[in-house]
Amino acid sequence: DAGVIQSPRHEVTEMGQEVTLRCKPISGHDYLFWYRQTMMRGLELLIYFNNNVPIDDSGMPEDRFSAKMPNASFSTLKIQPSEPRDSAVYFCASRNRDSGGRAFFGQGTRLTVV
């Protein structure tokens, strides 16, 4: 298995633009998580899905952030409009209910908003 695949790896955009981050979880995993990592705040959980249904989006910072999981093999995190303070590394992770809690992370998307 190729693991969790995220795209793009790097994204530089101007303030006010829409940004879409993509994630393909490991096949068979029924949980998908979106995290944001910054030096100041560490790893923050933004939202997670179980069987494609959003379970907890309390970590989504503002209405500018939205996430979807239209099927078991694809998820997106969208920021519209983007702001410089959104600059961070965004990770997608997936796990299987039966995996004992172990989550597998993607390589991350480094987002820079200028």
Partner 1 sequence: QQQVKQSPQSLIVQKGGISIINCAYENTAFDYFPWYQQFPGKGPALLIAIRPDVSEKKEGRFTISFNKSAKQFSLHIMDSQPGDSATYFCAASRRGSTLGRLYFGRGTQLTVWP
Provide the CA 110 distance to its chain's centre, in angstroms: 11
Among all chains, which residue has been given the structure tokens 């969208």? 78
| Least Cβ distance, residue 54 to partner 1 (angstroms) | 12
Which is nearer to partner 1, 14 or 110 (by Cβ)?
110
- 3-class DSSP state of 84: helix
> Cβ distance 77 to 93 under 8 Å?
no
DSSP code at position 26 = P
Binding mask 23-62 for partner 1 (x = CB under 8 A): --------x-x--------xx-x--x-x----xx------
Choose the stretch contacting partner 1; rule: CB under 8 A; options: 20-28, 70-78, 79-87, 89-97: 89-97
At residue 109, what is the residue type?
Answer: T
Interface residue list for partner 1 (CB under 8 A): 4, 31, 33, 42-43, 45, 48, 50, 55-56, 91, 93, 95, 97-98, 100-108
